[in-house]
Amino acid sequence: MSHDRPSADRYSPEVLDLFDRYVHGELDRRGFLERAARFALGGLTAAALLDQLSPNYAWAQQVPANDERIETERVSYPSKEGHGTVKGLLARPKGSQGKKLGGVLVVHENRGLNPYIEDVARRLAVAGYVALAPDGLTSLGGYPGTDDEGRKLQRKLDREKLVLDFLAGAQWLAIHPGCTGKVGVVGFCFGGMVSNQLAVRMPTLSAAVPFYGRQPKEEEVAKIRAPLLIHYAQNDPRVNAGWPDYQAALEKHKVRYTAHTYPKTNHGFHNDTTPRYDEAAAKLAWKRTLEFFKTHLQ
């Protein structure tokens, strides 16, 4: 595959919608290929379309694993209610031992701790935080090396178990010797949903940044104490359908929030491993995220 990332503009909204449904388990591979075949023009097959839209991690790495500005280590922590141990990547600025920094939990999409999410944790370390990126697939052997296999594994896990695993990670980070006790969370897609849930379930959470995540129920919103920075893609009807009710509940319960919808973007626009990536929107959303964490975690 070429390392030149094609733009989402090359693909019809119908194809992008089919890919979104495939990624989120509403279509299997065969179903995607059958439905996408009519959009495969100019000698391009439906299988080639799927290949182009799937992650290419050669495009993504912004902070290499051996970057001299940071230190990383593989860690593990106990989950809740007999759910065993969760493994993850811990990243922090180089030479920060003995110092206390704001903490950020990084929650992956519906496919485990892949290279993109590890890179996000390293970006946060460069920005001055101690960042923990757990692997929700730990109990099934961890991220298997490909997103397709990761999605299959994650579908085998109970959603409540996953939420509790990440909640335990945020609480473990809060008492980590390198953390001030102030912890924020950022998550993408499934991780956006988890970010919303951590805001509901963790009264001591200092900040939550869900990227295009499913929203909590209205009765749960009353429990939120942390300020929220919410990012949505304009072309994401599956997720955006829940926003009006969520916004009404946030207003009703006087939860502090800021929400941004990025024009002409697709679900996953921050993920720089696929053509759905939108560089301008991703950079703006990340700039806002770092400013938000600086306000609430430092």
CATH number at residue 189: 3.40.50.1820
Whether 3 maps to a domain, the answer reads: no
Residues 5-20: pLDDT tens digits? 677 777 888 888 888 8
Whether 2 maps to a domain, the answer reads: no
Rounded CA gap, 130 and 223, in Å?
A: 26
Instruction: Determine what percent of the chain is predicted with pLDDT higher than 70.
Output: 97
Which run of H or E residues covers position 123?
A: helix 115-126
Residues 47 and 92 grouped into a single domain: no
- Does pTM surpass 0.75? yes
Quick one: tokens of 195? 């970010």
- 243 falls in which pLDDT band (50, 70, 90)? very high
Residues 153 and 33 grouped into a single domain: no
Residue 50: which domain range? 8-54
Residues 14 and 160 grouped into a single domain: no
Q: What is the pLDDT of residue 48?
A: 82
Residues 111 and 76 grouped into a single domain: yes
Q: Average of pLDDT values for 139-156? A: 93
Decide: residue 229, CB within 10 A, 0-12 exposed, 13-18 middle, 19+ buried.
buried
Residues 83 and 40 grouped into a single domain: no
Asked whether the predicted pLDDT for residue 170 surpasses 50, the reply is yes
Whether 60 maps to a domain, the answer reads: no
Residues 165 and 199 grouped into a single domain: yes
Asked whether the predicted pLDDT for residue 73 surpasses 70, the reply is yes
Whether 1 maps to a domain, the answer reads: no
Which run of H or E residues covers position 208?
A: strand 207-211
Asked whether the predicted pLDDT for residue 160 surpasses 50, the reply is yes
Q: Average of pLDDT values for 242-265? A: 97
Residues 137 and 45 grouped into a single domain: no
Q: Is residue 75 a contact partner of residue 179, using CB atoms and an 8 Å limit?
A: no
Poorest-confidence range of 56-65, 101-110, 195-204?
A: 56-65
Q: Average of pLDDT values for 70-78? A: 97
Residues 42 and 73 grouped into a single domain: no
Residues 293 and 268 grouped into a single domain: yes
Rounded CA gap, 289 and 71, in Å?
A: 22
The secondary structure of residue 175, as a DSSP letter, is: T
Q: List phi, psi (to 5°) of 85.
A: -110, 145
Residues 78 and 167 grouped into a single domain: yes
Residues 24 and 165 grouped into a single domain: no
Whether 50 maps to a domain, the answer reads: yes
Rounded CA gap, 150 and 110, in Å?
A: 8
Whether 61 maps to a domain, the answer reads: no
Quick one: tokens of 269? 């626009």
Domains identified in the chain, total number: 2
Q: What is the pLDDT of residue 2?
A: 38
Whether 280 maps to a domain, the answer reads: yes
Residues 195 and 223 grouped into a single domain: yes
Q: Is residue 116 a contact partner of residue 271, using CB atoms and an 8 Å limit?
A: yes
Closest Cα to residue 157, out of 243, 244, 83?
83
Rounded CA gap, 70 and 80, in Å?
A: 30
Cα distances (angstroms) measured from residue 213 to each of 45, 47, 220, 223 = 31, 28, 15, 18
- Single-letter amino acid code for the residue at 128: G
Closest Cα to residue 188, out of 74, 93, 285?
285
Asked whether the predicted pLDDT for residue 89 surpasses 70, the reply is yes
Query: How open is the CA angle 63-67-68, to the nearest 5 degrees?
Result: 145
Whether 263 maps to a domain, the answer reads: yes
Quick one: tokens of 16? 């992008």
Asked whether the predicted pLDDT for residue 199 surpasses 80, the reply is yes
Q: For the chain, what is the mean pLDDT?
A: 92
Asked whether the predicted pLDDT for residue 3 surpasses 50, the reply is no
